[in-house]
């Protein structure tokens, strides 16, 4: 009968010249640099910015409704773009990542292809961005120099995100940090397009300048509620997926810490060798991860050093992060975000970001284990951990999500006066607390919460 | 002065405190969703009567108060937080607060590590849930409380979400269970839901405080909590006002209340919710729509008192209504009746039949046919001639109406049914999964909750200018979407229209999952009572972009179809077996319930006894209480698999006693591990088959309430094993499964792979024993020896490599043998079925679906229908690896695809897929399996299972499948 699903169009090398590649926007900052890197490599591409209710509706219409929310959104966003009339459908291709793990996310590309046929775009090829050798006929041609560029792009992005997040809540003039982030983003994209900026030497030179620029923004550091965000990768980063969580938290006067995207890359690089160690494998399999991680580590070191030198909080090096999982969850849990998610929660708690939103699509299988399943254990070890799991779903209402987050924040605020500002950024004079954070002492000696 | 306002999902509460915190005024009122108006009115009332000068410290709390407070610039206090503020002041010494509100459930642990827990977005409402259930029982909330106090026993009602519970309760009502007992069961379900969903392993003890509407008003609910928790909780004075008082205590900014009220009024004028286009552009369009639908009518003839020609009666005893049609030999309608079933359909049907006898002395009943949920009960009670599964009844009616119909959608009170017709036979059936059920009755309950009659309510939406966009998920989600829309100022008209559109979207995208009207066919008949609602009808046409036919008897199509079915079966001159006048007059029905006790299932039986001594038993999972004979299981490979597993007994061993939970993948790997550890000198124990009781004992430690039921059962198994005083419990993590060469990879799903991590992190029991949950890989036998030797060395020093090698060789051999036995017995069952001319159903799931508590006896149900049951793993080796359109990377699902492929080559073999609710992987596998089967010209049937214990819907689905298969055969034979 109908076997057309199996005869999907392939992404052939000559399409590099003829096709425009649409990229779903997962992490807005990092992905902009990635897109620039692709352009430099000779591809024409565009980062999708379209959002709105029709994106989700198209997803619901063409994808099994019990599929996870990110799949619905990503596919809905593609279909919405293809239907917008903005693109020449015979010369447009889509790109999607595939991790190749045991989570159903590895199937997104297949769901996308099915949806394209159903929605009447059977000619549109889909490119798979993966490091596991899946989709040999439509995989993105991965060369070592290009991988180096990707890694640099992610690090620059992570750095910009971290700097903005740690500056913006305290800046004296609103908008300074955002403007600076945009300015640097443009600069870096410019470098990348000219095939510059990604060598070890250049990174080493550029990063301190960036950090110094942010450190120079006039700020007034008062204790604010510090919130970490972990979760399923798409919902964690994408404003479309998490109802603009980062901005919501910023509006609630919080400092937000989204652990970097590079952690996930390192996690993906780490797992093959861990798998070989656990179940057996060749010498190469056991040590391939070390080679990649070693390379990444050099860039990681630069970023951490730069953050610390300028008085910002720096994430732990991946090597240390791995150790945090010890005694809580095995690093053998490698589906979805796996042990990394648990380790990130622990890192955040230990670094003072003890209020955590654990974001996942409704019914996310890996997060039953490494997210919700580990909260209890983390609380046993770190009683101060204030973690709230939030489910995202086409119909989960924002009001319910925000209400739960507000509960977490209420508990956080009540602890706030007891906290001292982080030592490395101690301002000379302790600032007065914003109004809502001081509880007027009541007569009758009633318990102040 | 301080003022606190608490705007909840159904009620609004306000307190005014004087400077020494005494309550000067308080109020607790339902707001019927007029949140802004009501808040404004309350504020003005406070300002005029109780707050001199109109200025006071003021704060807002409550789930519906959040956006409102922000928009008018008043501080908002999160409601759980407010509760705590109030409790610390008013009831010091409290350890735990349990608060149930309209839609929220909360537990606050105040001592020993402060923690607050709120229900997740899935767990649904509690107060609203109780209201909904009370409506179902035709009681007020207080009547239900009184009734529950007279209960003699409780039934098991799914506690995971309101919609599930409703699907459990409805059949109980239909089967004639006592309202008192159902009422008590509902409260118990709320208790279980709260504890399972919120306590998450943390013990609830000490001084307990009960707050919120449901706990204040229902003694029975409080007692259920007390009993279940083994505590004596207190419902304090002002228990309804804690949140409002907390907000007042917290308030530290002065406001002019009248000014806030003014701002609220302005806010009410600005509508900011997400909307969609109106249903009708103008009155003219509506008029044309009405004129078009007025054409679809069934001929009627007068039913005179002296009518003596033969008549056929169809009775559709549905979930919420009873429908009856009397037709003549030409299928013209003589008489119809349509009424709510008021919990027990039997007296209602009797009343109608009695009236027919009374008013038509010469009545000649040629046939009586029953259908619907209460089909069997009505048939037994009144000695009807035929029973027909409702899907077939509906198809019969639609076909009579429109011979070339190719698609039928029926939205009733509790279910949706859709079927595609190809070549005159049902080719595909879609029934709503328990998750989106209740859509018709949801509209009704919602209308009532907002203070309207359902017709009036639906009518309001017809000309709404900006219908609210409420999404297309389950009704519980809709509740909170509505709440949000109200907060954003949506009018009742726009909410009504939005709800009607949502019902339609649910049907199309959740149940049918169509993407275009062409896919559904050209000749669509819509039916079911819900389509009388013009807003729903219009929304359906708009959403599908197609004009459809709605017969004027849309709500009676089941009964009409049943009568037609009877007419088709009846020979000329035949007289129905229906109770005659005398018997009808003396008709009596008595209902009692008892535990069957004939086997370990201990089914709760409801036994109806009628005046003529006839009985009707429901609630049974097998025929044993009716026939007295046990099922031999000889046509049931599930039964055989259970026997195989249970045959592994502990053998005394020198190294100690080791326990293995019989859950998830261990259902398949137990033979392997039993052999392995027995060889090593351990005495290997396993936990028993799952049961309700086992589940409940472990439910307190489940951290994620949306994980699949088979995973959640693991907690009970671990608890069971922990009581045995074993030396160790073994439950390994396994990323990979055994590679059977059918797929591109051989993973386990994330839950199966790593659930032991959840056990280790959340079950306190495992701390008291050695819990071995290391990562092992059976897919690399050579490495396995080495790795398992290292692992065991950490727990049991002194096991030699040679011992391990020997044990593992034996274990692999045993596993191979085990799987071979299954395939061999499968082949035997298939051969036997073929010799006896039976259908073979490949009941496909995962190894753990063999557990009777997981599959709810669906395997035996299928054998009761006369078919033989085999498993997917018994035939998956009969095909070679083949390409799939999805990434074929999970071992269990590779078997599923292979089994589907094999079915396509076997005319007498059909596949039914068991899907656990919440199984994310199955979102992918169900589509793929459906495509494989459809490509091979086979019907696809999916049964979604969860904690649900009632098999009513499953039965309908299976009977529809068999009816459709029979019809296909007939057509094939004719051709």
DSSP one-letter string for B643-693? HHHHT------SSEEEEE---TTHHHHHHHHHHHHHHTTEEEEE-----HH
- Which ranges of chain A have pLDDT less than 70? 1-6, 100, 132-133, 395, 417-449
**What proportion of chain B, given as a percentage, has pLDDT over 70?**
91
SS3 B947: coil
Residue A224 CA to residue A425 CA, distance in Å, equals 13
| Structural element, H or E, at residue B322 | strand B321-327
For B762, the closest chain A residue by CA position comes to: A376
Backbone phi, psi, residue B490, to 5°: -70, 140
**Structure token digits, residue B742:** 């059918």
At A419 the pLDDT is 47
What are the extents of the domains in chain B? 1-91+236-270, 93-231, 310-402+560-585, 407-548, 589-619, 637-818, 819-974
When CB atoms are compared, the residue of A335, A364, A397 closest to B481 is A397
Place of tokens 């693991």: B714
Tell me what pLDDT residue B142 has.
Answer: 86
B735 and A68: CB-CB below 8 Å? no
May I ask the CATH architecture of the domain A223-260+315-419?
Answer: 3-Layer(aba) Sandwich (3.40)
| B150 at A interface, C-beta within 8 A | no
Q: Is CATH 3.30.300.350 what the domain over B310-402+560-585 is classified as, yes or no?
A: no
Q: What is the pLDDT of residues B184-235, one digit of tens each?
A: 998 988 888 788 777 766 778 889 999 988 899 999 999 999 998 888 999 9
The residue written with tokens 């209308």 in the block is B447
Gap between the Cα atoms of B554 and B22, Å rounded: 59
Q: What is the mean pLDDT of residues B493-509?
A: 84
Q: At B747, phi and psi to the nearest 5?
A: -75, 160
pLDDT of residue B937: 87
Tokens of B780: 């690399």
pLDDT tens-place string over residues B554-610: 889 999 999 999 998 888 889 999 999 889 998 988 888 788 777 766 777 888 888
Inter-chain contact A368–B513, Cβ cutoff 8 Å? no
Using a CB-CB cut-off of 8 Å, the residues of chain B touching A109 are 887
Binary contact (B515, A103; C-beta < 8 A): no
Residues sharing a CB contact under 8 Å with residue B470, sequence separation 6 or more, in sequence order: A395, B478, B481, B482, B485, B498, B499, B501, B502
- Find the residue in B nearest to A384 (Cα): B113
**In terms of C-beta distances under 8 Å and separation of at least 24 residues, what long-range contacts does B801-806 make, across chains too?**
B803/B679, B803/B680, B804/B680, B806/B679
Judge whether B562 and B314 are in contact, CB under 8 Å. yes
DSSP state of A240: T
Q: How far apart are CA A5 and CA A2, in angstroms?
A: 8
What integer is the mean pLDDT of B411-415? 72
The 3-state DSSP class for residue B839 equals coil
Question: Which B residues in the span 700-719 are in contact with A, Cβ-Cβ below 8 Å?
Answer: 703-704, 706-707, 711
The structural architecture, per CATH, of the domain A11-141 is: 3-Layer(aba) Sandwich (3.40)
User: Between A50 and B454, where is the model more confident?
Assistant: A50
Closest residue in B to A332 (Cα) is: B775
The CA distance from B738 to the nearest CA of chain A, in Å, is 12
Q: How confident is the model at residue B472 (pLDDT cuts 50, 70, 90)?
A: low
> Cβ–Cβ of B783/A280 closer than 8 Å?
yes
Interface membership of B733 toward A (CB under 8 Å): yes
Q: Residue B73, class by beta-carbon neighbours within 10 Å (0-12 exposed, 13-18 middle, 19+ buried)? A: exposed
Per-residue model confidence (pLDDT) at position A343: 97
User: How many beta-carbon pairs under 8 angstroms link A with B?
Assistant: 241
Q: Are strands B23-30 and B76-77 parallel, antiparallel or unpaired?
A: unpaired
Looking at domain B407-548, its CATH architecture is 2-Layer Sandwich (3.30)
Radius of gyration of chain B (CA): 30
- State pLDDT tens for residues A43-101: 999 999 888 878 988 888 888 777 888 999 999 999 999 999 999 999 999 999 877 67
**Residue B703: which pLDDT band, with cuts at 50, 70 and 90?**
confident
Q: Which of A102, A279, A394 sits opposite B889 (nearest CB)?
A: A102
Cα B845 to Cα A283: distance, rounded to the nearest angstrom = 38
- Residue B345's pLDDT band (boundaries 50, 70, 90)? confident
Short-list B584, B574, B565, B563, CA closest to B364: B574
What are the residues whose beta carbons fall under 8 Å from the beta carbon of B500, sequence distance 6 or more?
Answer: B279, B443, B458, B461, B533, B535, B536, B538, B539
pLDDT number for residue A236: 95
Residue B340 vs residue A162, higher pLDDT: A162
A365 CB neighbours in chain B (<8 A) are 749-751, 920-921
Please write down the HEC assignment for all residues of A216-227: CCCECCCCCEEE
B70 touches chain A (CB under 8 A): no
> pLDDT at position B726, please?
95
State chain B's mean pLDDT as an integer: 86
Q: Do B81 and A372 touch (CB under 8 A)?
A: no
Instruction: Using an 8 Å CB-CB cutoff, list chain A residues near B745.
Output: 102
Cβ-defined contact of B706 to A67 (cutoff 8 Å): no
Angle formed by the axes of helices A69-82 and A53-62, to 10°?
A: 110
Cβ of B761 within 8 Å of Cβ of A377? The answer is: yes
Closest by Cα among B81, B372, B692, B894 to A410? B81
Asked if A447's CB is within 8 angstroms of B780's CB, the reply is: no
- Is the CB of B761 less than 8 angstroms away from the CB of A376? yes
Asked if B779 is an interface residue toward chain A (Cβ–Cβ < 8 A), one would say yes
**Nearest residue of chain B to residue A5 (CA atoms):** B885
B730-756 burial, b at 16+ Cβ within 10 Å, e below that, comes to: bbbbbbbbbebebbbbbbbbbbbbbbb
Binary contact (A64, B513; C-beta < 8 A):
yes
Higher pLDDT, B676 or B158: B676
Mean pLDDT of the region B818-845? 96
Q: How do residues B307-335 score in pLDDT, each as one tens digit?
A: 999 999 999 987 778 999 999 999 999 99
Domain B1-91+236-270, what architecture?
A: 2-Layer Sandwich (3.30)
- Domain regions of chain A by residue span: 11-141, 223-260+315-419
Candidate from B113, B780, B935 with C-beta closest to A1 = B935
pLDDT of amino acid B721 = 96
Tell which B residues from 433 to 472 touch A, by Cβ distance under 8 Å. 469-472
Distance from the B857 Cα atom to the nearest Cα atom in chain A, whole angstroms: 25
Report whether pLDDT(B476) > 60.
no
Question: Quick one: three-class SS letters along B536-586?
Answer: HHHHHHHHHCCCCECCCCHHHHHHHHHHHHHHHHCCCCCCCCCCCHHHHHC
- Cα distances from A255 to residues A229, A358, B438, in angstroms, run 11, 16, 44
**Does residue B436 register a pLDDT over 50?**
no
C-alpha–C-alpha distance, residues B238 and B90, integer Å:
10
* Token couple for B892: 């269990």
Contact in structure between B494 and B274 (CB atoms under 8 Å) = no
What residues of chain B lie within 8 A of the CB of A329, using their CB?
A: 757, 761
* Residue A99, helix vs strand vs coil: coil
**C-alpha to C-alpha distance for B648 and B675, rounded to whole angstroms:** 9
- Stronger pLDDT, A180 or B442, i.e. the higher one: A180
8 Å CB contact of A394 and B472:
yes
Structure-derived torsion over alpha carbons of residues B88, B92, B94, B98, reported in degrees to the nearest 10: -40
DSSP state of A139: B
* A contacts of B201 (beta carbons < 8 Å): 376
CB-based contacts of A105, cutoff 8 Å, min separation 6: A68, A70, A71, A98, A99, A336
Q: Which residues 826-885 of B have a C-beta within 8 angstroms of A?
A: 883, 885
How would CATH label the architecture of B93-231?
A: 2-Layer Sandwich (3.30)
Q: Does residue A352 sit in helix, strand or coil?
A: coil
Q: Cβ contact (<8 Å) for A407 and B118?
A: yes
Q: At which residue do the structure tokens 């109908």 appear? A: A2
Determine whether the interchain pair A391/B480 forms a contact, defined as Cβ–Cβ distance below 8 Å: no
Q: Cβ contact (<8 Å) for B754 and A68? A: no
Average confidence (pLDDT) over B709-731: 95
Contact B471 A395 (CB under 8 A): yes
pLDDT at B517: 60
A107, A280, A402 member nearest B886 (Cβ): A107
Residue A53: count other Cβ atoms within 10 Å of its Cβ: 14
Asked if B480 has any chain A CB less than 8 Å from its own CB, the reply is yes
**Strand B55-61 to B254-256 pairing:** antiparallel
**Mind telling me how many Å the CA of B275 is from chain A's nearest CA?**
10
Bin B90: left if φ > 0, else alpha if -120 < ψ < 50, else beta. Answer: alpha
Q: Do A280 and B481 touch (CB under 8 A)?
A: no
Residue A60 has a pLDDT of 81
CATH code of domain B819-974: 3.40.50.11900
């Amino acid at each position: 009968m109908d076997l057309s699903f199996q005869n999907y169009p392939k992404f052939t090398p000559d399409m590099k010249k003829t096709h425009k590649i649409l990229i779903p926007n997962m992490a807005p900052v990092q992905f902009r640099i990635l897109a620039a890197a692709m352009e430099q490599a000779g591809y024409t591409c565009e980062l999708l910015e379209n959002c709105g209710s029709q994106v989700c509706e198209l997803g619901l219409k063409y994808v099994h409704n019990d599929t996870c929310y990110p799949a619905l959104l990503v596919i809905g966003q593609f279909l919405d773009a293809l239907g917008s009339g903005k693109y020449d459908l015979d010369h447009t291709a889509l790109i999607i990542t595939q991790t190749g793990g045991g989570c159903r996310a590895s199937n997104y590309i297949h769901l996308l292809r099915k949806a394209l046929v159903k929605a009447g775009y059977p000619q549109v090829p889909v490119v798979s961005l993966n490091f596991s050798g899946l989709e040999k006929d439509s995989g993105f041609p991965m060369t070592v120099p290009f991988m180096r560029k990707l890694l640099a792009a992610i690090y620059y992005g992570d750095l910009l995100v971290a700097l903005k997040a740690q500056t913006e809540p305290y800046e004296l003039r609103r908008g300074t940090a955002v403007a600076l982030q945009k300015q640097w983003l443009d600069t870096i994209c410019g470098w990348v397009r000219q095939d510059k900026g990604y060598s070890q030497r250049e990174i080493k030179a550029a990063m301190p300048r960036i950090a110094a620029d942010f450190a120079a923004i006039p700020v007034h550091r008062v204790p604010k509620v510090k919130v970490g965000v972990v979760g399923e990768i798409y919902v964690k980063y994408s404003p479309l997926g998490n109802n603009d969580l980062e901005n919501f938290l910023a509006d609630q006067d919080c400092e937000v810490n989204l652990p970097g995207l590079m952690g996930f890359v390192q996690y993906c690089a780490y797992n093959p060798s861990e798998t070989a160690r656990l179940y057996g494998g060749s010498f190469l399999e056991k040590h391939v991860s070390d080679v990649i991680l070693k390379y990444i580590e050099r860039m990681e070191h630069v970023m951490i050093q730069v953050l610390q030198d300028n008085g910002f909080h720096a994430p732990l090096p991946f090597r240390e992060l791995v150790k945090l999982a010890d005694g809580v969850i095995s690093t053998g849990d490698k589906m979805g975000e796996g042990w990394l998610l648990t380790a990130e929660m622990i890192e955040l708690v230990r670094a003072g970001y003890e209020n955590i939103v654990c974001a996942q699509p409704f019914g996310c299988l890996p997060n039953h284990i490494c997210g919700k399943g580990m909260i209890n254990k983390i609380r046993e070890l770190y009683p101060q951990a204030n973690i709230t799991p939030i489910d995202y779903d086409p119909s989960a209402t924002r009001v319910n999500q925000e209400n739960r987050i507000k509960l977490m924040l209420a508990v956080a605020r009540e602890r706030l006066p007891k906290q001292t500002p982080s030592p490395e950024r101690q301002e000379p004079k302790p600032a007065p607390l914003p109004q809502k954070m001081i509880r007027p002492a009541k007569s009758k000696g009633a318990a102040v919460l | 002065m301080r003022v606190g306002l608490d705007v909840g999902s159904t009620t609004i509460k306000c307190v005014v405190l004087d400077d020494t915190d005494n309550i000067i005024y308080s109020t607790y009122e339902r707001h019927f969703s007029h949140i802004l108006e009501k808040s404004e009115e309350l504020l003005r009332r406070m300002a005029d009567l109780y707050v001199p000068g109109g200025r006071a410290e003021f704060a807002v709390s409550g789930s519906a108060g959040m956006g409102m407070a922000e928009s008018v610039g008043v501080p908002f206090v999160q409601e759980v937080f407010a509760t705590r503020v109030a409790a610390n002041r008013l009831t010091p010494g409290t350890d735990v607060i349990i608060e149930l509100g309209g839609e929220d459930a909360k537990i606050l642990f105040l001592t020993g590590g402060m923690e607050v827990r709120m229900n997740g977005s899935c767990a649904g409402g509690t107060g609203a849930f109780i209201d909904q259930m009370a409506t179902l029982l035709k009681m007020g909330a207080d009547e239900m409380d009184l009734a529950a106090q007279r209960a003699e026993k409780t039934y098991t009602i799914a506690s995971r979400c309101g919609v599930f519970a409703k699907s459990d309760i409805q059949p109980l009502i239909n089967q004639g269970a006592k309202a008192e007992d159902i009422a008590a069961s509902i409260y118990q379900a709320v208790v279980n839901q709260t504890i399972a969903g919120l306590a998450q392993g943390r013990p609830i003890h000490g001084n307990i405080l009960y707050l919120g509407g449901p706990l204040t008003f229902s003694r029975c609910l409080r007692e259920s909590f007390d009993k279940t928790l083994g505590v004596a909780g207190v419902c304090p004075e002002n228990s309804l006002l804690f949140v409002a008082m907390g907000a007042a205590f917290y308030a530290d900014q002065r406001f002019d209340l009248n000014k806030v009220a003014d701002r609220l009024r302005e806010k009410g004028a600005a509508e900011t919710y997400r909307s969609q286009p109106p249903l009708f552009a103008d009155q003219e369009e509506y008029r044309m729509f009405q004129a078009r639908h007025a054409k679809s009518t069934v001929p009627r003839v007068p039913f005179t008192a002296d009518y003596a020609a033969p008549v056929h009666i169809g009775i559709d005893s549905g979930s919420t209504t009873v429908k009856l049609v009397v037709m003549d030999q030409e299928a013209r309608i003589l008489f119809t009746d349509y009424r709510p079933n008021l919990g027990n359909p039997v007296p209602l049907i009797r009343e109608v039949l009695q009236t027919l006898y009374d008013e038509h002395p010469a009545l000649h009943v040629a046939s009586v046919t029953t259908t619907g949920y209460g089909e069997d009960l009505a048939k037994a009670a009144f000695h009807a001639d035929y029973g027909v599964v409702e899907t077939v009844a509906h198809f019969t009616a639609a076909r009579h109406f429109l011979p070339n119909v190719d698609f039928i959608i029926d939205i009733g009170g509790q279910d949706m049914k859709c079927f595609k017709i190809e070549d005159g036979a049902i080719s595909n059936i879609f029934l709503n999964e328990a998750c989106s059920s209740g859509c018709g009755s949801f509209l009704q309950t919602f209308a009532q909750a907002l203070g309207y009659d359902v017709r009036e309510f639906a009518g309001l939406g017809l000309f709404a200018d900006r219908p609210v966009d409420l999404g297309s998920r389950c009704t519980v989600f809709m509740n909170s979407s509505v709440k949000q829309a109200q907060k954003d100022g949506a009018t009742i008209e726009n909410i009504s229209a939005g709800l009607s559109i949502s019902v339609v979207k649910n049907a199309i995208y959740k149940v049918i999952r169509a993407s275009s009207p062409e896919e559904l066919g050209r000749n669509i008949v819509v039916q079911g009572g819900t389509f009388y609602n013009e807003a729903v009808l219009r929304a359906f046409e708009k959403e599908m972009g197609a004009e459809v036919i709605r017969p004027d008897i849309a709500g009676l199509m089941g009964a009409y179809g049943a009568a037609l079915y009877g007419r088709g079966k009846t020979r000329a001159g035949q007289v129905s077996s229906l109770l005659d006048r005398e018997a009808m007059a003396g008709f009596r029905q008595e209902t009692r319930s008892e535990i069957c006790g004939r086997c370990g299932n201990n089914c709760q039986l409801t036994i109806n006894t009628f005046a003529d001594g006839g009985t009707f038993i429901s609630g049974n999972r097998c025929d044993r209480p009716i026939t007295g004979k046990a099922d031999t299981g000889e046509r049931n490979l599930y039964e055989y698999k259970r026997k195989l597993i249970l045959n592994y007994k502990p053998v005394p061993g020198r190294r100690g006693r080791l326990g293995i939970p019989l859950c998830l993948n261990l259902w398949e790997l137990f033979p392997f591990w039993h052999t392995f550890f027995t060889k090593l000198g351990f005495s290997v124990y396993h936990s028993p088959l799952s049961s309700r009781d086992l589940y409940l004992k472990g439910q307190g430690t489940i951290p994620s309430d949306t994980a699949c039921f088979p995973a959640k059962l693991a907690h009970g198994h671990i608890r069971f094993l922990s009581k045995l005083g074993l030396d160790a419990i073994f439950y390994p993590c396994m990323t990979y499964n055994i590679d059977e060469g059918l797929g591109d990879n051989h993973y386990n799903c994330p839950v199966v792979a790593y659930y032991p991590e959840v056990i280790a992190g959340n079950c306190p029991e495992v701390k008291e024993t050695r819990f071995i949950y290391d990562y092992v890989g059976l897919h690399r036998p050579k490495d396995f020896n080495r790795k398992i030797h290292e692992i065991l060395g950490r727990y049991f020093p002194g096991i030699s490599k040679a011992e391990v090698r020997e044990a593992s060789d034996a274990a692999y051999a045993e596993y191979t043998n085990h799987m071979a036995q299954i395939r061999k017995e499968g082949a035997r069952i298939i051969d036997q079925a073929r010799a006896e001319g039976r259908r073979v159903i490949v009941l496909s799931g995962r190894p753990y679906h063999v557990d009777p508590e997981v599959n709810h006896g669906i395997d035996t149900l299928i054998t009761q229908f006369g078919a033989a049951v085999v498993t997917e793993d018994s035939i998956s080796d009969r095909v070679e690896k083949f390409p799939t359109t999805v990434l074929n990377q999970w071992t269990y699902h590779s078997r599923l695809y292979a089994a589907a492929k094999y079915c396509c080559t076997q005319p007498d073999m059909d596949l039914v897929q068991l899907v656990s609710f919440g199984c994310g992987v199955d979102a992918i596998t169900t589509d793929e399996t459906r495509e494989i089967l459809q490509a091979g010209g086979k019907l696809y049937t999916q049964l979604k299972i969860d904690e649900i214990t009632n098999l009513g819907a499953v039965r309908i689905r299976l009977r529809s499948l068999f009816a459709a298969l029979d019809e296909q055969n007939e057509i094939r034979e004719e051709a």
